[in-house]
Chains A and B, each alone.
Chain A
Amino acid sequence: MSVLTRAAQPGVSASDLPRRSRLIGRRVVLSAIVPILILLVWWLGSLSPTKGLFIASPLATVVRTFQDFLGGNASHLFLGTVAWQDLLPSLWRATVGFWLALVVGVVVGTALGVKPVVAALFQPLVHLGRSLPTPALLGVFFLLFGTGDWPKVLLIAFGVIWPILFNTIDGVQGIGTGRAHVAEVFKLRRRDVLFRILLPGAAPKIFAGARVALSLSLIMMIISELQKSRNGLGYLLVATQRNFDYPGFWSVLLVLALIGIILNIIIVRIERRVLAWHQGATSQHD
C-alpha cells in the first residue's frame, strides 16, 4: 500500500530520480554549447594571421586577468594593482552615480507622480533631459565640474536617472483609486500614505527601472572615463589599445562582462526577496 501511494506521487519514486538528473544534465549540456562555440570562434580568431594581431587568445586573456586583477598579496586583499588603480575607482564612480540617480529619481518621480501640476510644469524639462543622448554631454560636464571624479559621477547619474524617474512616476500614478479611497476613509496620515501605500505599491516598477539603470550605469561609467581620465576601466581600454597591449585590452572586456553578470545576479536575488509578494500577487491573476 505504502509503495503504491509513494509511486503515485510525482518526483518521489526511486525510478524517477535518474530521469530527473538526466534532464538536469541535458540542460547543463545545452546551456554550455553556445559559450563553448563563442570561445572556439574567439580562439580561432586569435590564430588568424591578420586579425590575430588584435585578438588575444582566450587563455592569454584569462592569465592576464588573473595577473592584473588578482595578483596581490594579503595586504592588498589579494587584488592586483590594476584592480586597485582602475577597477575600484570605476566601480566607486558607478556606485555613487547609480545611488544618486536612485535617490533623486525616486524623490522627484514621487513628487511628479503625486502632483499633476508639478508634473505638467516640469514635463518639457524632463522630456528634454531624457531625449538628449547623455554621452553628448560629456564635454559640458567636464566644463562645469572640472576633471576629477565629479563630472564622471554626475554624468553617470544623469545618464541612468531616466528609467528610474519614469518608472517611479508610472508606479505612483498606477496605485489606483481603490487604495486612494482606503487611505481617505481610514484617515491615514500623509506620511503613512507615502511610505506605506505609494512607495511599496510603486516598488515593482521602481525596481524594474533600477535594473535598467544599473546596466546603463556600467555603460556610462566606461563612456565617462574615455576622456580626461587618469584611471578607470574606460581609461584602461583606451590606454591598452594605444600601447598595442591586446591581452590587457581583452582582459578589461572580460572583467566588464563578469561585473555585468555578478550585478545581475545580485539584483535578481534582492528582487526575489523584497518583491516576493509581487510575484505571488501577479501569479494569482494568471
Chain B
Amino acid sequence: MTDNQIPAELVMTGIAKVYGTNRAIDDISATVPAGQVTVIVGPSGAGKTTLLRIICGLDAPTSGQVHFDGAPIDGVPDGLAMVFQDYSRSLFPWLRVEANVGFPLRRIDKKLRRSRVMEALEAVGLAGKEHLYPWEMSGGMQQRVAIARALACHPRLLVMDEPYASVDAQTRAELEDLLLTIQATMKITVLVVTHDIDESVYLADNIIVLSKAPSRVSEEIPVRLARPRDQITTKEDAEFIRLRAHVLRLLRNIPEAPTGAGSLAAKVTA
C-alpha cells in the first residue's frame, strides 16, 4: 500500500473568507506537517466547515492561499481523500460495501480495483463484509466503510470532518484507535476537524485551536504524548489532562490558571 504514497504537507497562509458583510474566517495561517496527525478544534460556528471546504479546494478563499506539497491548490488536489461526518448521507444505500468502497476508483482496472478495495476493508477490520449493504451494518461499521473508501484512494492526505460525531462513545473510542493504527502503519498525513476536546488531544501530534468567528488561530499546540496511545493510560497521563484543560480554556476564553500550591495560596490571600 506504500507505492508512491508519500505523505503530503499542507500549508495555509493568511486565509480569509468573507460572505457579503459576514467575515467567517479572519486570518488563518497554519501548517499540517507531513506524516502527522493534525487536529483542528474550535468552538461551534468557528468556520471549521468553511475552512475544510477551502482546504479541499471546493471553495476559494477571499484572500490567502493553501499549498498542497508546495503547489497552490486549485480544485480538489490529487491525493486528498475525505471522510464525512454523516455516513448515512455519504455512503450509497443502493450499493453493497464493495461497490461503495470502490466507487471513487471507477477509472481503475477491475482486478486492481478489487484488490485495493479488499486491502482497504482489511485495514478497517471489515474483511468478509464486502457483500453487505451499508444499512445492514451498525453505525460504527458504516463509518469504517467510509474510512475504507477514503483509504482505497491511497490518499497522501486524509481529511476527516467530525468523523465520529454520529456514533456512540464506545464506538468512537474504537474508531479513534483504528485511525491511529492506520496512520501509524501507512504514515499518511491526517487532518481531523472535531469539536471534541478529548478526541483532539488523544489523536493529535499538533492541535490547531481556532477562535470564535471571525476565526483566527488561537494557538498551535504540539502534543508530545507517547505513541502508541491507549484509551486508558494516555487519558490518565498528567500531560493529557493538562492539555485538555489548556485547550478548553482557549476555547472558552478563560485565562490560564496559575500553577502550583504557592500561587494558589497567593490567590487565597489576595
Contact = CB atoms under 8 A, between A and B. Distances in A.
Contacts of A187: 76, 104
B133 A281 contact: yes
A182 B134 CA distance: 16
Given A185-B58, A186-B153, A192-B106, A278 B94 contact: yes
B94 A179 contact: no
A188 to B, nearest CB: 7
A178 B86 contact: yes
B145 to A, nearest CB: 12
Interface in A148-179: 176, 178-179
B135 A196 contact: no
Interface residues of B, number: 21
A95 B103 CA distance: 36
B135 A281 contact: yes
A277 B92 CA distance: 10
B89 A277 contact: no
Contacts of B76: 184-185, 187
B24 interface: no
B133 A185 contact: no
Interface string B64-103: 0000000000001000111010100110111000000001
B135 A284 contact: yes
B174 interface: no
A175 to B, nearest CB: 10
B93 A182 contact: no
A18 to B, nearest CB: 35
B56 interface: yes
Nearest to B107: A189
A277 B135 contact: yes
B103 A196 contact: yes
B92 A179 contact: yes
A200 B92 CA distance: 9
B237 interface: no
Contact of A178 (B84, B133, B153): B84
A277 B90 contact: no
B90 A178 contact: yes
A206 interface: no
Contacts of B133: 277, 280-281
A185 B56 contact: yes
A278 B108 CA distance: 28
B136 interface: yes
A185 B86 CA distance: 15
Interface string A263-284: 0000000000000011011001
A272 to B, nearest CB: 14
Nearest to A178: B89
B140 to A, nearest CB: 14
Given A280-B133, A280-B135, A281-B133, A186 B94 contact: no
Contact of B94 (A184, A188, A200): A200
Contacts of A284: 135
A283 to B, nearest CB: 8
A6 to B, nearest CB: 28
A186 B107 CA distance: 12
A203 interface: yes
Contacts of B153: 186
Contacts of A197: 92
Interface string A197-213: 10011010000000000
B116 to A, nearest CB: 14
Contacts of A176: 89
Nearest to A274: B94
B58 A186 contact: no
A203 B94 CA distance: 10
A281 B89 CA distance: 12
15 contacts: A179-B90, A179-B92, A182-B84, A182-B90, A185-B56, A185-B76, A186-B103, A187-B76, A196-B103, A200-B94, A201-B92, A277-B135, A280-B133, A280-B135, A281-B134
Given A179-B89, A278-B93, 20 more contacts: A178-B89, A179-B92, A181-B84, A181-B90, A184-B58, A184-B76, A185-B82, A186-B104, A187-B76, A187-B104, A192-B106, A196-B92, A200-B94, A201-B92, A203-B94, A277-B94, A277-B135, A280-B93, A280-B133, A280-B136
